């Protein structure tokens, strides 16, 4: 599914332990020495030393844009889900049960013959509605309806906690409506961007031809020109990640005034199933909506009709006949990510049922998640994780106490926020209710269509109600983790709680270098350049003294400069400002996790593994987590859109600033990972 995902922090067998590192390979819960490249010194490149041979010998699977530790676990999770779905599909289930819905949704996707027979006919009634739009007012009203059925338009709409008053929900409006992943694809003048723009026009033309809509060539030109205007109005991602710039709370009357009284927001919200116009709205990108008024007026109704027809077909292309599916693959997977081969149908079916990762719940993500954790998550893992979380929180508090750049007054407020961080591990205590979702075994399009409406209504229904503290932003089967600034909580789904991140059998060194650093990473997001703007109750509230804020910005600017020097591809560098929050979380999370390891190992006997002590295991464990390869097109896309640095720099970048790394491996001047003491950055 390709849902609209709002701009937010949402945005992770038996072990043989051997004593002689050079003659034995340790698997999973230990360290895979066969992955290492011992010709590269750790002091010069930790990432290559730990992962170099794996990188040389591993080919990225043909249906993937990148591959590594996260992808391997995601594949494992996907195979487990496939088995769960297949076993569920073999049984007989009462109508309306989650099991019936899981089985029938999967069957509806796998019935390729029926889908081919239907062609684009499932879209005909929706296309007819769009063709009947006669005025700009009709078009604007229909945008609200499209948000309800999962179709992206120039208006991004969602409900979330109010960043300024976290005890209530608020409607949010944000720029949207682009096919390509970022505004830069429309405005950059390099050859790669130009080729992608041509591919977009070819895609639009192909969709129109497949849907038997006339003048496909002219429509493609018109639609691209319209999207280019939207791109030129859109904020760059470095501005979008600014929590204060994104918070522009205004009354409904002020919203109308912002858009010159020319856009009927009452009609928009009514069609989006907001029963009465909201009294207050957070307009994430005000200048975009000011400019949108002119774009709406200057674009003919006929062009808007063609654009909305395209947006509808694009949103549902993956659930129509093969010509639509193939066209979508050519643009979004092959052109933008460099993926040569489309995923097999069963994988796409599993993703539709259970979701594809962070922020994507599929149609029945938690229904599948409930079955997943019953089979693949042990209670003792949750208990061990809670112990690790507690140790990391204590370590972070100790680090706050030790800071030399922060005053006592601000330290007290930082510790107050730290004390209020909540934790969720494994799976929700309250599962999502899918009783309103109708699933039919012979209606893939209808299933996805109805799912979009149910999930939209679930989101809108939050308005006027108390904050749902039980709600999760990821499914249990997602290999990831997150921090929510408005809830001030850290969340660790079940699927990430396995090797190489975590194992009940692994040494402390490996667990703290893996999941410990992940825990530290998420805690540190509460104190990164954006998370630190929220207080312990989840409100955008400046709890910093002017002096401390100035010192903090000096340190973070150094980190921006460090990562801006890294170039994954020739002529392509990391955007240090875009990735700042994640780089802070990597550096601080790794630092406090090592401190927690030291605290946990105090008084325990020396723990050796493959010739490495606990400190060395810690950094090796950290590096193996970031084992990953990328296709060049995927790397280019991530450099434009991803707030995370590429994996090799996540492995190597933080350790150059951490004294414990220097001590563990006797890093000296002249080593490539050496930085003079005066240049090492410590933030938390």
Q: Using one digit for the tens of pLDDT, what is the confidence trace for 312-344?
A: 999 999 999 999 999 999 999 999 999 999 999
The pLDDT value recorded for residue 358 is: 82
Sign of CA dihedral 175, 179, 180, 186: negative
- Nearest-angstrom CA–CA distance, 459 and 132: 29
Q: Please give the share of the chain, as a percent, with pLDDT higher than 70.
A: 96
Q: Please give the radius of gyration of the chain, using alpha carbons only, rounded to the nearest integer.
A: 25
Query: Angle at the Cα of 658 (from 653 to 662), degrees rounded to 5?
Result: 100
Q: How far apart are CA 436 and CA 308, in angstroms?
A: 27
Q: Three-class SS of residue 629?
A: strand
Rounded to 5 degrees, φ, ψ at 663 are: -70, -40
Name the residue among 322, 277, 326, 387 with its Cα closest to residue 119.
322
How many helices (H) and strands (E) in the chain?
30, 9
Reported as a single tens digit per residue, the pLDDT across 265-288 is 999 999 999 989 999 999 999 999
* Helix ranges restricted to H, 272-364: 286-298, 301-316, 322-328, 336-337, 345-354
Element (H, E) at 249: strand 249-251
Query: pLDDT tens digit string along 62-89?
Result: 999 999 999 999 999 999 999 999 999 9
**How far is residue 615 from each of residues 130, 298, 376, 524, 607, measured CA to CA in Å?**
62, 63, 30, 21, 10
Residues 431 and 366 sit within 8 Å (Cβ to Cβ): yes
What are the chain's domains?
123-317 (1.10.1380.10), 379-441+466-679 (3.40.390.10)
Among 488, 468, 508, 499, CA closest to 393: 488
Phi, psi of 343 (to 5 degrees): -60, 145
- Lookup: tokens for 133: 């739009």
Residues in the chain, pLDDT under 50? 1-28
Strand partners, 572: 569
Could you say which DSSP state residue 426 is in? E
Per-residue HEC secondary structure of 455-502 comes to HHHHHHCCCCCCCCCCCCCCCCCCCCCEEECCCCEEEEEHHHCCCCCC
pLDDT of residue 3: 38
Per-residue pLDDT at 606 = 84
User: How is residue 544 annotated by DSSP?
Assistant: S
- Tell me how far apart the alpha carbons of residues 459 and 5 are, in angstroms, rounded to a whole number: 12
Write the burial class of residue 605 (CB in 10 Å: 0-12 exposed, 13-18 middle, 19+ buried).
Answer: exposed
Pick from 88, 63, 149, 74: nearest CA to 475: 74
pLDDT for res 114: 98
Helix, strand or coil for residue 605? coil
Q: How far, rounded to the nearest angstrom, does the alpha carbon of residue 343 sit from its chain's CA centroid?
A: 20
* Helix (H/G/I), strand (E/B), else coil: 540: strand
Which residue bears the tokens 């760059």? 236
Provide the β-strand partners of residue 493. Answer: 426
Cis peptide preceding 407, ω within 30 of 0: no
Q: Render the burial of 30-48: b for 16+ CB within 10 Å, e for the rest.
A: bbbbebbbeebbbbebbbb
Helix axes 580-601, 647-655, angle to 10 degrees: 60
Q: For residues 625 and 609, what is the distance between their CA atoms, to the nearest angstrom?
A: 18
What sign does the dihedral 295-298-303-308 (CA atoms) show? Answer: positive
The answer to whether residues 592 and 520 touch, using CB atoms and an 8 Å cutoff, is yes
Strands 165-175 and 280-283: parallel
DSSP element (H, E) containing 32: none
What SS3 class is residue 175? strand
- What's residue 151's pLDDT? 98
C-alpha dist (Å) from residue 316 to 11, 106, 107, 121, 458 = 24, 16, 18, 12, 21
Q: In Å, what is the CA distance from 72 to each residue of 61, 370, 425, 473, 626? A: 11, 22, 21, 22, 12
Backbone angles phi, psi at 634, to 5 degrees: -65, -40
CB 372 within 8 A of CB 431: no
Mark 91-127 as b/e (b = at least 16 C-beta within 10 Å): eeeeeeebbbbbbbbbbbbbbeeebeebbbebbeebb
DSSP states along 138-171: HHHHHHHHHHHTT---SEEEEEEEETTEEEEEEE
> Percent helix, strand, coil in the chain (nearest 5)?
55, 10, 35
């Amino acid at each position: 599914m390709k849902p609209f995902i709002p701009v937010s922090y949402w945005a992770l067998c038996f072990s043989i332990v051997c004593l002689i590192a050079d003659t034995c390979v340790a698997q999973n819960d230990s360290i895979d020495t066969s992955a290492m490249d011992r010709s590269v010194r750790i002091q010069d490149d930790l990432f290559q030393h730990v992962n170099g041979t794996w990188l040389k010998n591993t080919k990225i699977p043909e249906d993937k844009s990148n591959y590594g530790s996260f992808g391997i676990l995601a594949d494992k999770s996907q195979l487990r889900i496939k088995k769960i779905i297949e076993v569920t599909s073999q049984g007989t289930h009462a109508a309306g049960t989650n099991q019936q819905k899981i089985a029938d949704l999967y069957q509806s996707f796998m019935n390729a013959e029926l889908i081919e027979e239907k062609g684009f006919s499932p879209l005909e009634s929706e296309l007819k509605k769009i063709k009947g739009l006669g005025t700009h007012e009709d078009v604007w009203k229909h945008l609200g309806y499209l948000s309800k059925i999962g179709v992206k338009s120039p208006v991004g709409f969602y409900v979330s906690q109010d960043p300024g008053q976290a005890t209530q929900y608020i409607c949010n409006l944000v720029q949207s409506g682009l096919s390509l992943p970022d505004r830069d694809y429309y405005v950059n003048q390099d050859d790669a961007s130009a080729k992608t723009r041509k591919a977009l026009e070819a895609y639009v033309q192909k969709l129109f031809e497949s849907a038997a809509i006339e003048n496909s060539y002219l429509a493609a030109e018109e639609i691209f020109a319209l999207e280019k205007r939207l791109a030129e109005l859109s904020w760059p991602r470095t501005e979008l990640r600014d929590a204060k710039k994104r918070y522009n709370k205004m009354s409904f009357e002020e919203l109308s005034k912002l858009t010159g009284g020319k856009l009927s927001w009452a009609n928009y919200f009514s069609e989006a199933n907001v029963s009465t116009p909201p009294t207050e709205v957070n307009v994430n990108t005000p200048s975009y909506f000011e400019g949108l008024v002119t774009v709406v007026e200057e674009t003919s109704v006929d062009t808007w009709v063609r654009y909305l027809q395209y947006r509808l077909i694009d949103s549902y292309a993956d659930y129509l006949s093969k010509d639509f599916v193939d066209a979508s693959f050519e643009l979004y997977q092959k052109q933008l990510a460099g993926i040569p081969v489309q995923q097999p149908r069963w994988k796409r079916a599993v993703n539709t049922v259970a979701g594809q990762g962070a922020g994507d719940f599929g149609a029945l993500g938690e229904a599948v998640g409930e079955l997943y954790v019953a089979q693949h998550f042990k209670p003792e893992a949750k208990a061990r994780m809670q112990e690790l979380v507690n140790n990391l929180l204590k370590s972070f508090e100790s680090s706050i106490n030790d800071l030399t750049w922060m005053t006592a007054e601000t330290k007290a407020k930082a510790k107050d926020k730290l004390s209020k961080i909540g934790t969720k591990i494994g799976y929700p205590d309250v599962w999502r209710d899918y009783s309103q979702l109708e699933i039919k075994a012979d209606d893939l399009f209808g299933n996805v269509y109805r799912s979009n409406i149910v999930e939209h209504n679930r989101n809108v229904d939050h308005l006027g109600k108390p904050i749902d503290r039980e709600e999760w932003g990821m499914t249990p089967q997602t290999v990831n983790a997150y921090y929510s600034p408005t809830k001030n909580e850290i969340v660790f789904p079940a699927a990430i709680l396995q090797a190489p991140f975590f194992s009940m059998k692994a040494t402390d060194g490996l667990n703290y270098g893996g999941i410990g650093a992940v825990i530290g990473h998420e805690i540190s997001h509460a104190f990164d350049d954006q998370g630190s703007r929220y207080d312990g109750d989840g409100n955008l509230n400046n709890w910093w003294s002017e002096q401390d804020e100035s010192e903090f910005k000096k340190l973070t600017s150094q980190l921006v400069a460090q990562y801006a020097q890294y170039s994954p591809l020739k002529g392509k560098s990391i955007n240090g400002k875009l990735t700042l929050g994640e780089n802070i979380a990597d550096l601080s999370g790794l630092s406090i996790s090592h401190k927690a390891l030291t605290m946990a190992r105090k008084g325990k006997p020396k723990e050796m593994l493959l010739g490495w002590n606990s400190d060395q295991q810690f950094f090796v464990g950290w590096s193996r987590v970031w084992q990953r390869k990328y296709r060049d097109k995927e790397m280019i896309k991530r450099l434009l859109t991803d707030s995370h640095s590429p994996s090799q720099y996540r492995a190597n970048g933080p350790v150059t600033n951490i004294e414990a790394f220097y001590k563990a491996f006797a890093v000296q001047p002249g080593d490539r990972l050496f930085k003079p003491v005066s240049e090492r950055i410590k933030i938390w």
